[in-house]
Structure 1
């Protein structure tokens, strides 16, 4: 069975390349996990030991006269067959009225090229929910010539909470493109970090997942501060692991930890000075004035002498 991941991003050239490479790298690296999370029936039917990337194909879009590149084409075995799967990633915020026809066009070109069965899959990553067609037909009142269908994943319609208990790296990364409200942004990021810790990926893969997520869900300063506070409320071991992740949270956590450590060190120094003053017989009011410690704390130190 052959898997084809095809990523077409209709935006400005620089934006196209950026998003194209992000989705391509994510799905190529975690192809099995991608199908497991979103297309479990397909996943059950594929022999992943037989994966073989094929060369990228450049197609001419007959609808608009533009060139399109099939970025990911992977061949593998499916029930003693060799099938090509097209995964079409469309990370843009506006729709394409003829998208279903375009999918049929790519399907036809790939079939003509390889002469093997093709399973097409489209991934929609719009910023707003849309109702997409997954069927293209050619018919007459007296006869149906063609009914073409493709599998599709509409990320904005996915409930992000349905995936946070999994250990799937693609699901974790794509939380950033799922259906959450503005008020849930901090919660989504926190659950993403918890998933990342639980998966225990190597640094390179963790960096890929985190970089993808940050591209599509980047918190503002106020949200970051709120997130930091929520992370501190987690179990100590879990929060420590989050701050060890290869991202900005590690740097921020270390910086704040250092600042808190210095602050605590100064407090310990003040307490030691207060103890020495108590031993010298100075009164509590004077010690409080010099050290800036609370009088009740100094009284507690005196009782423990």
Structure 2
């Protein structure tokens, strides 16, 4: 059975923080050209949390709020609200509008709302948000980037030197191979190999590998085969990056992230988690954590959740 991580928030947050300029260049080139990148950018995640804390996580993968400066020389800055949406949601456009006006009300700065649609349903295209009554009309139009649309650009993505092309390829492959672990193994290995052909440095390879490894999780037999293949071509290239001791640290960090996500899910559903259950979570391997993450959805009690 192919392992599917139900929560992509950690890798998406990290990758957007690290490759925000690459993301904008790939997904919103018009805005990327209008930003003064020499002044850098600032993530305002805590500020965004205070705006959205009343809303349920639902099918959102991640929310990001970035402060950037315009390239036209004006002494002003723009807030970019980026939301990565994992599944169709009936009131999605309304929620994007609510966040937009809350951010404007708080900062009184131009706001650009951008939705990355990361779902697996080609037909889902959320409309703009609008309503009208007695001559009063409101129309809110936000930017929509459908990741599935990039499936027709596989060749361009594979040859691109933009690191965010790898992110999109990994996400698309994860969706495509949800029920095909052999196919996932082949795709994951090909994507990993491609990291070494771009001329990127060690830090870039490890950053992108961490994202690939998270969203394209494999069961233990395929994972062992994957590691063996990576070791072989790393030896050929004399570039022992992923199979070095740092990989152990990456895997440990991923597992700790999974533990934190599971605890957060349980706390939201059941409240305080007894120490004995927390200890079991801390001692569990990745496969068990993913099994429990599935069980959260249907479990009615903690005892049922952790019953063997």
Alpha-carbon distance in structure 1 between the residues aligned to 2:215 and 2:136: 42
TM-score, length basis structure 2:
0.61
- Root-mean-square deviation (CA, aligned residues, Å) is 3.8
Alpha-carbon distance in structure 2 between the residues aligned to 1:61 and 1:23: 19
What 5-or-longer segments of structure 1 have no aligned partner? Answer: 1-13, 252-305
| Structure of larger gyration radius | 1
| Equivalent of residue 176 in structure 1, options 170, 181, 186 | 170
Please, which moves more after superposition, 23-32 or 68-77? 68-77
CA contact (8 A) 1:50 1:77 kept: no
Matches within 5 A, 1:1-305: 19-53=8-42, 55=44, 56-57=46-47, 58-60=50-52, 71-79=64-72, 80=74, 81-90=76-85, 92=86, 94-140=87-133, 143=135, 145-159=137-151, 160-178=154-172, 180=176, 182=180, 185-219=184-218, 221=221, 225=225, 240-241=236-237, 244-247=240-243
* Structure with greater contact order relative to length (CA < 8 Å, sep ≥ 6): 2
Alpha-carbon distance in structure 2 between the residues aligned to 1:189 and 1:70: 26
Compared CA separation, residues 60 and 219, structure 1 to 2 (3 A): closer
Alpha-carbon distance, 1:72 to partner: 3.5
Alpha-carbon distance, 1:54 to partner: 5.0
Query: Which digits, 9 at most, give the CA deviation of each residue in 1:220-251, with x for residues without a partner?
Result: 5459759977998xxx8x98238734148x99
What 5-or-longer segments of structure 2 have no aligned partner? Answer: 248-308
TM-score, length basis structure 1:
0.61
Alpha-carbon distance, 1:130 to partner: 4.8
Alpha-carbon distance in structure 1 between the residues aligned to 2:56 and 2:215: 28
Alpha-carbon distance in structure 1 between the residues aligned to 2:196 and 2:222: 24
- Select the structure that is richer in helix: 2
Alpha-carbon distance in structure 2 between the residues aligned to 1:129 and 1:209: 26
- Select the structure that is richer in strand: 1
Query: How many matched pairs?
Result: 228
CA contact (8 A) 2:88 2:124 kept: no
Alpha-carbon distance in structure 2 between the residues aligned to 1:33 and 1:108: 27
Query: Which digits, 9 at most, give the CA deviation of each residue in 1:182-226, with x for residues without a partner?
Result: 475355324422431133333333222111111111345459759
